[in-house]
């Protein structure tokens, strides 16, 4: 589902590339299933529904799209394993639903280079989706990513290789479309990035701020609302788990001070929320929630 929110005078849209299903242990790491299944019920394969959201910002530097989902290039076996039914990426349809075409996008910002965040930047150049040469999905855009993230993606190790797919980013380099940056950026009036290490070495979150209001797009610094509420709940995916905890501590403080609207990229249930004191300290009060759209029997 696409949702539109205003941050001061800045119009933002939260778009989804659709659900996929991953092992619950991936998102909840050391936390026993008896605890995390109270947050989300797994299917018979122990998989939980996972959304792939993007943030679209109508800024004075043009249309900025943060992350682009899995896209269409995953082989049939991978799609089957991830419980993805239809072939076509939903992100372009969602973009059209809020009034834009792929060629309207000026900047594509990658939070990091994992396949579920940048796969949708390119697609196979064929009508039937058969593999071959790729073309950019957003033909006019500058694509922006962090240098350390590109280095990690370009030289993966045995643990990271599966998610760093060269077809997702190498063609962008060859076409001269990928702009590599070092550290936090100010992209437009009220739009900036912040390095939030833990999930990867240089993953970046996005802050949108205008008129005394703030939005924080957390990417995998806190993939789900519960990850921000409970510092010890660190995904098994994270390459630097103890750093993730300290990053979350800092982000929670910053978000609470600003009463920021939090956008969760992978939470299948809580799209946005704000921090408020609760029984266990700061808790997320959901604002936009998804209707139960996933099938626990899948």
Contact residues for Zn ion, defined by CB under 5 A: 116, 220
Smallest gap, in angstroms, from Cβ of residue 201 to Zn ion?
15
Smallest gap, in angstroms, from Cβ of residue 189 to Zn ion?
28
For 107, residues 6+ apart whose C-beta sits below 8 A from its C-beta are 61, 62, 63, 64, 65, 141, 142, 143, 144, 187
Longest distance between any two alpha carbons in the chain, whole Å:
54
Helix (H) or strand (E) holding 134: strand 134-136
Smallest gap, in angstroms, from Cβ of residue 176 to Zn ion?
27
- Nearer to Zn ion by Cβ, of 72 and 220: the residue is 220
For 162, residues 6+ apart whose C-beta sits below 8 A from its C-beta are none
- Nearer to Zn ion by Cβ, of 10 and 234: the residue is 234
- Nearer to Zn ion by Cβ, of 220 and 290: the residue is 220
* % helix, strand, coil for the chain, step of 5: 25, 35, 40
- Nearer to Zn ion by Cβ, of 194 and 220: the residue is 220
Smallest gap, in angstroms, from Cβ of residue 248 to Zn ion?
15
- Nearer to Zn ion by Cβ, of 10 and 153: the residue is 153
Smallest gap, in angstroms, from Cβ of residue 281 to Zn ion?
25
User: Which residue of the chain is nearest Zn ion when measured via CB?
Assistant: 220
The two structure tokens encoding residue 137 = 């999905």
Cα separation, 66 vs 206, whole angstroms: 8
């Amino acid at each position: 589902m696409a949702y539109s929110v205003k941050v001061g005078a800045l119009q933002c849209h939260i778009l989804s590339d659709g659900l996929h299903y991953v092992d619950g242990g991936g998102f909840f790491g050391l936390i026993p299933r008896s605890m995390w299944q109270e947050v989300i019920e797994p299917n018979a394969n122990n998989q939980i529904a996972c959304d792939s959201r993007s943030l679209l910002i109508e800024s004075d530097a043009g249309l900025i799209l943060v992350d682009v989902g899995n896209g269409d290039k995953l082989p049939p076996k991978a799609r089957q394993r991830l419980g993805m039914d239809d072939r076509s990426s939903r992100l372009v349809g969602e973009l059209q639903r809020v009034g834009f075409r792929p060629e309207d996008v000026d900047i594509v910002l990658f939070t990091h280079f994992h396949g579920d965040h940048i796969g949708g930047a390119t697609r196979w150049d064929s009508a039937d989706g058969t593999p071959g040469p790729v073309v950019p999905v957003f033909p006019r855009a500058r694509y922006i990513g962090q240098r350390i993230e590109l280095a990690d993606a370009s030289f993966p190790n045995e643990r990271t290789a599966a998610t760093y797919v060269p077809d997702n980013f190498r063609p962008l380099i060859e076409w001269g479309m990928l702009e590599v940056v070092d550290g936090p950026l100010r992209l437009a009036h009220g739009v900036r990035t912040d390095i939030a290490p833990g999930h990867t070495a240089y993953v970046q979150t996005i802050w949108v701020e205008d008129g005394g209001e703030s939005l924080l797009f957390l990417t995998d610094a806190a993939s789900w609302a519960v990850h921000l509420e409970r510092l010890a709940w660190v995904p098994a995916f994270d390459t630097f788990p103890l750093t993730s905890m300290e990053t979350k501590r800092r982000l929670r403080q910053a978000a609470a001070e600003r009463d920021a609207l939090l956008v969760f990229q992978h939470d299948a249930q809580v799209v946005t929320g704000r921090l408020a004191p609760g029984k266990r300290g700061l808790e997320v009060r959901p604002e936009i929630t998804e209707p139960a759209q996933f099938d626990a029997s899948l």
